[in-house]
Chain A
Amino acid sequence: MSDKPLPTIDPDSAPFWAACGEGRLDLPHCRACARPHFPPRALCPHCHEVGCDWRAAAGTGTIHTFTVARRPAHPGFKDEVPYVVALIDLDEGVRMMSNIVTDDPDAVAIGQRVEVVFDKVTDDLTMPKFQRID
């Protein structure tokens, strides 16, 4: 369906995207300090030890900040303007970029509570997006 730019999945990111396909928002947790991080990588950005275990996040969080794109960042988004791109602070303590799914971009505000919804973009790719918890 999409002529939008799609993620180029690599060995660091594959578990994240695979979990999305199964309806889970998985985060890497450091085996040494137990803290989660995002995006996934080979070493913990907090304590710099190597080695993580993947665990599912609750899928809830808070809008840390956002913008409303009034012009498409890529031709694939031209039918969606205006759309909301946000940084979401997940309750587990990591920050993630995503879209806020809404019919009313002007009602989006910092501090609003959101939950993940999964958007099956292709047979091979499901993207996590967020909607307000009212």
Chain B
Amino acid sequence: MGARDPVIVGVADTALVEGKMAAGTTPLSMQAHAAKAALDEAGLRVADVDGLLVAGAWGQPRPGNMMPIALAEYFGIRPSFADGTNIGGSSFEMFVGHAAMALRQGMCEVALILYGSDQRSARARTLGGRPTYYSLQYEVPWGQPTPLGSYAMAAQRHMHLYGTRPEQLAEVAVSAREWARLNPAAMMRDEMGIDDVLATAMIADPLRRADCCLVTDGGGAIVMTTAERAADLDGTAIDVLGFGESMSHITIGAMPDVAWHTTAAEAGARAFAMAGLTPGDIDVAEIYDSFTITVLMSLEALGFCGRGESGAFVADGRTRPGGAFPMNTNGGGLSFAHPGMYGIFLVTEAVRQLRGEAGPRQVPGARVALAHGTGGTLSSGATCILARR
């Protein structure tokens, strides 16, 4: 390892009850508590933070349109590096990469990645309240349920081209639930089978209620520093071996191929190339699951199976606890929590798995993990590959 190689030294997420944050919490105080917890874990202080990377949906239009500044004030710090780029739920995998570059370049020594959302408590996910300006004027007036309808259109096309079946989509939700049953922090822990998923209401064909992620509050923090700095800290540093990002569209009509997750393919290929690894090297995968179809298309695009083969890939329970391909081991956005932008939890869970701290859901001997985020309506992809030395 080189002195300035990037490592993750602390992670935290916000405890929820029934998907909600504790009374008296705000998205800002949530991020402060998560930051303190992640920094404590690393043996670092708020005053050490000189890189701040944050995305979210709070405080719109102001001060949330300038999140790094708003949080610098709230924390009482003056970062020398900031990133407030929002590419949707994948922003946090992108941030791991951007923080890695900033650390290598010497732009900062301790980078803090933050997320906080009060979406469930505030009932903020109003699907009908979307504006109709710019390219949205070609979607919203036709009653497109966003984002659900766009994922449904992708699923419909995937089923048409490849014969993907509803029970194969359902398997993604069932697998997530099986993992959630091992995670006391997960919101949804009741037993659920394929037939239970198929019995839930159709919302936007071919997607049913149980094909859709939860709507919860939630927040988290990731602390990164250099290998040199980490050598002086307690705890297990997790190496960032590779990362990549790609983005293509805001409206589903402009997606390069509605049945192929182009940005995931590009981000994943860049991350694997940087890491010098292949899909076969991954011990545990955390794959953004806003909807069940998101996972199937990501598995193909990242190279874990061939194009059109994802339905069969998951169908034998391969991704469930004890299966050959452990995936979404905290229960995912489908059963753990989904505060609107889920991506930070892909990384916190991957780090816990690599440290061997995941308790009943621990994947034995996990050394290399992949976290892949998808943002918008299959609009962006960002991948990072993490490893325990």
Please give, as numbers and ranges, the residues of chain B lying within 8 Å of A64 by CB-CB distance. Answer: 157, 258
A21 to chain B, nearest CB (A): 15
A1, CB-defined interface residue at 8 Å: no
Contact residues of A between 1 and 17, Cβ < 8 Å to B: 4-10, 13
Chain B contacts of A71 at CB under 8 A?
A: 145, 203-204
B132 within 8 A of A: yes
A86 vs B204: C-alpha distance in the bound complex, in angstroms? Answer: 12
Closest residue of chain A to B258 (Cβ to Cβ) is: A65
Which residue, of A6, A39, A83, A127, has the highest number of chain B Cβ atoms within 10 A?
A: A39
The answer to whether the Cβ of A69 comes within 8 Å of any Cβ in the partner chain is: yes
How many residues on A have C-beta within 8 angstroms of the other chain's C-beta atoms? 36
Query: Is B76 located at the chain interface by the 8 A CB criterion?
Result: no
**Does the CB pair A9–B203 fall under 8 Å?**
no
> In the complex the two chains form, is A98's CB within 8 Å of B142's CB?
yes
Within 8 Å of chain A (Cβ to Cβ): is B305?
A: no
Cβ of A109 to closest chain B Cβ, rounded Å: 8
Q: How far is the CA of A89 from the CA of B205 in the complex (A)?
A: 20
Decide if B205 touches A6 in the complex (CB within 8 Å): no
List chain A residues, Cβ under 8 A from B251.
Answer: 39, 97
Instruction: Check if B130 sits within 8 Å of A5, measured CB to CB.
Output: yes
Pick the contact of A68: B127, B129, B205 (CB < 8 A): B205
Please determine whether B253 and A87 come into contact, CB atoms closer than 8 angstroms: yes
On chain A, the residues within 8 Å of B154 by CB distance are 65
Contact: B141 with A68, CB < 8 Å?
no
**15 contacts across the A-B interface (CB closer than 8 A):** A6-B132, A7-B137, A7-B141, A8-B133, A10-B137, A39-B137, A67-B145, A67-B156, A71-B203, A74-B129, A74-B140, A76-B143, A77-B143, A86-B153, A110-B160
The interface of chain A, by Cβ under 8 A from chain B, is 4-10, 13, 38-39, 64-77, 80, 83, 85-87, 95-99, 110, 127
